[in-house]
A and B are shown apart, each in its own frame.
Chain A
Amino acid sequence: MLYKRLFKNQLALTGLIILVPMFFCAIFAPFITKHNPVEPNLKEILMPPSLSHPFGTDMLGRDVFARVVYGSRISLLVGFVSVGIAILIGIAIGAVSGYFGGIVDEIIMRFVDLMMCFPTFFLILTVIALLEPSIWNIMVVIGATNWMGIARLVRAEILGIKNKEFVMAARALGLSELRILIKHVLPNAMSPVYVVATLGIGGAILTESALSFLGIGIQPPTPSWGNILTQAKDNIEVAWWLSLYPGLAIFLTVIGYNLLGEGLRDLFDPRRYYRLS
């Protein structure tokens, strides 16, 4: 039923049309392109787009199409893992805060306020500068600085749900508090989390690209959209294709997630939900 409505929703559908081929490329990268994304080929430096190199080559003669395709693996991985981390932290903290309330809630929410005061990007920069810039460090740091919104959202949802009668009925049935929280309260609080998570993936991909562009993200020769752009900026006057294609890839992916997120928001809107069902 949800799938049917998903396909009727134009925003979500557009998002999926952009994202599904991206996933396909990321998973089947070796079948999509025969070129090696990291091996230099000094005979074909800075070639403009052609049939054998649809996106041209870079200053080391590597195929840009191959680099963009392999780079999508990094972007998707960073997007999903870091948002996954943010969701886990956010749900745990938000659920405890909202469900148990009182002084616990007060302390946790003030901590969230405190976390939100930090300029996130500079926090990430500092942490990465102190640690070594590996893909795992990047994902953990992006995740650990983006859970606050989700925590607040989950808390707000739970505040509304925990006083509903089905929760009271569950308590009267003698179920344990933990079971009530996990089985009855949390599942009903999840829909807005899916929306925020989807939008968050786009944000995480952008952050990763920015970090890689600044040289403290994914380290060459591993291709990522951000570090392709770094190399591109040195040659922007002679090789426009070096900047255009990875830039386009970032743009399309982020807009894909944003559209999907907006579409999901419509789908999960309870008023619409009841009208259609």
Chain B
Amino acid sequence: MGEVLSVSGLKKTYELKKTIFSYRKDKIIAVDGVSFVLHKGKTIGIVGESGSGKSTLARCILFLERPDGGEIRFTGQVIDYGERELLRSIRKKIQIIFQDPYSSLNPRKKVFEIISEPLLFHKTVEKGAVKDRVFEILKTVGLGGEFIDKYPHEMSGGQRQRVAIGRALSTDPTLLVADEPVSSLDVSIQAQIINLFLDIKENMGKSMVFISHDLSVVRFVSDEIIVMYRGKVLEKGNKESVFRNPLHPYTKMLLNSSLGGIPKIQIEPIGNEKDRGCVYKDHCSERTGRCMDEPPVLFGDGDHRVACIKY
């Protein structure tokens, strides 16, 4: 199995200027030391609530943001951000599907233009064959040919999300990054779109990074799961072993709440540099004195790792 994506020690911080006159800058750590390897045809699920750095991670994987530390290799290649042509040719191999299909489609373009634009720009197909290819893509995502002349606002959320998936597939990417792709859809539609993702994964052999705050959604599509909190990886492992035997208190809490148990607690997002100790210490139900100033490191065997001093 070929290695599609390898992320090691990825770090991204944002500087927050209070006012234009103050020189004091607050640093916000969005992603802190995230590492994983994604193999061909596999799907990695990233779970965490809003503010846990999932979307920043997605943008880094797409090479839309430059990380401050660590390294991302795509099919074994390290990317030089200065080389624009190379960057562009690599970008089309990595496509993203966003959460909100209302804002991820250009409101002034018809479905045909949305899907054919990348085909024409990259000259992946001959001019005469573009229309056939667009129909083919629409069929793949479960839309009929009549959608070709529709504007985004003439379609439902599920249909729009299918178009967004079709656009992502149009460049024949190696890797798909799905950033909360079903969170804004109705539950019945969610199931349809998840099935579509399963189809893409199994029949087209695409690798995927599937980001969601909803464990039950991630469970369907992923082979491996990463649990993130405040930019850090708390638990990581094989899907079955994470679901059967969650180790980290936060994962347990998430699992319970996805079964309708504990209501979600309000959490202030994303870490500050001054923080010491475990990122989850303020809300942990199994906290001990050591959690306050000893940051846990990720350890365990290859199939299941956890960052918690309890183990």
Query: Do A and B come together as binding partners?
Result: yes
Residues of A within 8 A of B (CB): 164-166, 168-176, 179, 183-184, 187-188, 274, 277
Q: Is the CB of A171 within 8 A of B108?
A: no
Do A172 and B104 contact each other (CB < 8 Å), given the known contacts A179-B121, A274-B153, A277-B153? no
Chain B residue numbers with a CB within 8 Å of A172 are 62, 64, 91-92, 94-96
Q: Is the CB of A173 within 8 A of B167?
A: yes
Chain A residue numbers with a CB within 8 Å of B105 are 166
Can you list 17 A-B pairs with a CB-CB distance of less than 8 A?
Answer: A165-B104, A166-B103, A168-B96, A168-B98, A169-B164, A171-B64, A172-B91, A172-B95, A173-B92, A173-B117, A173-B118, A174-B91, A174-B92, A174-B121, A174-B122, A175-B117, A188-B106
Do A165 and B118 contact each other (CB < 8 Å), given the known contacts A172-B95, A188-B108? no
Query: Which B72-89 residues have C-beta < 8 A from chain A?
Result: 88-89
Q: Is the CB of A187 within 8 A of B103?
A: no
A28 to B170, CA, bound (A): 52
Q: Is B49 an interface residue (CB 8 A)?
A: no
Considering only CB atoms, which chain A residue lies closest to B167 in the complex? Answer: A169
A274 to B153, CA, bound (A): 8
Q: Is B100 an interface residue (CB 8 A)?
A: yes
Nearest Cβ on chain A to B84's Cβ, whole angstroms: 9
Considering only CB atoms, which chain A residue lies closest to B170 in the complex? Answer: A173
Q: Is B107 an interface residue (CB 8 A)?
A: yes
Considering only CB atoms, which chain A residue lies closest to B113 in the complex? Answer: A183
Q: Is the CB of A175 within 8 A of B118?
A: yes
Do A169 and B121 contact each other (CB < 8 Å), given the known contacts A174-B89, A188-B108, A274-B153? no
Looking at chain A's contact residues, the main secondary structure is helix
A170 to B62, CA, bound (A): 12
Chain B residue numbers with a CB within 8 Å of A169 are 96, 98, 104, 164, 167-168
A164 to B108, CA, bound (A): 14
A171 to B94, CA, bound (A): 11
Nearest Cβ on chain A to B149's Cβ, whole angstroms: 13
Beyond A169-B98, A172-B96, 11 additional pairs, beta carbon < 8 A: A171-B64, A172-B92, A172-B94, A173-B92, A173-B95, A174-B89, A174-B91, A174-B121, A174-B171, A183-B117, A274-B153
Query: Which B91-131 residues have C-beta < 8 A from chain A?
Result: 91-92, 94-96, 98, 100, 103-108, 117-118, 121-122
Chain A residue numbers with a CB within 8 Å of B88 are 174, 176
Nearest Cβ on chain A to B5's Cβ, whole angstroms: 15
Do A174 and B118 contact each other (CB < 8 Å), given the known contacts A165-B100, A188-B106, A188-B107? yes
A188 to B105, CA, bound (A): 12
A168 to B121, CA, bound (A): 16
Q: Is the CB of A173 within 8 A of B64?
A: no
The 4 closest A-B pairs by CB, nearest first: A165-B104, A174-B92, A174-B88, A165-B98
Do A187 and B108 contact each other (CB < 8 Å), given the known contacts A171-B64, A173-B91, A277-B153? yes
Nearest Cβ on chain B to A274's Cβ, whole angstroms: 7
Considering only CB atoms, which chain B residue lies closest to A179 in the complex? Answer: B121
Chain A residue numbers with a CB within 8 Å of B106 are 166, 170, 184, 187-188
Nearest Cβ on chain B to A246's Cβ, whole angstroms: 42
Of B62, B91, B103, B122, chain A has the most CB atoms within 10 Å of the CB of: B103
Chain A residue numbers with a CB within 8 Å of B103 are 164-166
A164 to B91, CA, bound (A): 18
Considering only CB atoms, which chain B residue lies closest to A177 in the complex? Answer: B84
Chain B residue numbers with a CB within 8 Å of A277 are 153
Chain A residue numbers with a CB within 8 Å of B122 are 174
Chain B residue numbers with a CB within 8 Å of A168 are 59, 64, 96, 98
